[in-house]
Structure 1
Amino acid sequence: MRVRFLPLIFPLVLTACNVAHPLDGLNRTGTASAGGHDFRVNWNLESAQATRTNPAWRPGLTQVIQSAVQATQEVTGCKVRPGTAIGDIALVNMALDCRVE
């Protein structure tokens, strides 16, 4: 009986990729490219998560974080607060400053 449900579960797992966890409160989403990388950005007015979506052979962490910051600023229209971008080559979390000046 369990094997019959496996084909139903697999597509659900795939659709969950690049979606922010509901408890994060990141209710906006968009995509952008920067520095040769593609990102799915999920954000609210205070924070953002940039998930790298393109395949890359051993990308450098510094370059990925800088690219994630650029992509996030492009998509959100907000500034990323200096020193708040932390993560790895797949997911970068950062704080936003969305004040209109």
Structure 2
Amino acid sequence: MRFPVFLVLILSACNTAHPLDRLDRSGAASAGGHDFRVNWNLESAQATRTNVTWRPGLPQVVIAAVEATEQVTGCAVKPGSAVGDIALVNMALDCRAGDPARQGR
């Protein structure tokens, strides 16, 4: 059986930020027992959970996504800005509050 080419292309797009989001930086981190692919710019970030977990709790995933995002970006996540689901969490960043040496990554 042949694997359809379009399915390969769709699957290869996973963990990639949409171009209109203008998230031009990317990294990976683990926190709270979850693995994340983090795409960000100096104002916002998206953390995509990449590990398989049976029925993870949303509050735990959001807390882990915030921690992973702060690890990767070196920026602080603005309080109350993390929203999403167990697969993708969007958040606003405050890169002026973090370590200036890490902000230019």
Aligned length: 97
- Name the structure 1 match of 2:31: 34
Provide the TM-score with structure 1 as the length reference: 0.91
Letter in structure 1 aligned against 2:95:
C
Letter in structure 2 aligned against 1:82:
P
2:18 to 17, 21, 24: 21
Where in structure 2 are there 5+ consecutive unaligned residues? 101-105
- Name the structure 2 match of 1:56: 53
Where in structure 1 are there 5+ consecutive unaligned residues? none
- Are residues 1:72 and 2:34 paired? no
Distance 1:14 1:70 in 2: 26
- 1:9: Cα distance to partner? 1.4
- 1:14: Cα distance to partner? 1.2
Q: Give the match's secondary structure for 1:66.
A: helix
Provide the TM-score with structure 2 as the length reference: 0.88
Letter in structure 1 aligned against 2:70:
Q
Distance 2:79 2:13 in 1: 30
- Name the structure 1 match of 2:103: none
- 1:8: Cα distance to partner? 2.0
Q: Which of 1 and 2 has greater Rg?
A: 1
1:6-53 deviation line (CA, Å, top 9, x unaligned)? 722121111100000000000100000000000000000000000000
- Are residues 1:44 and 2:41 paired? yes
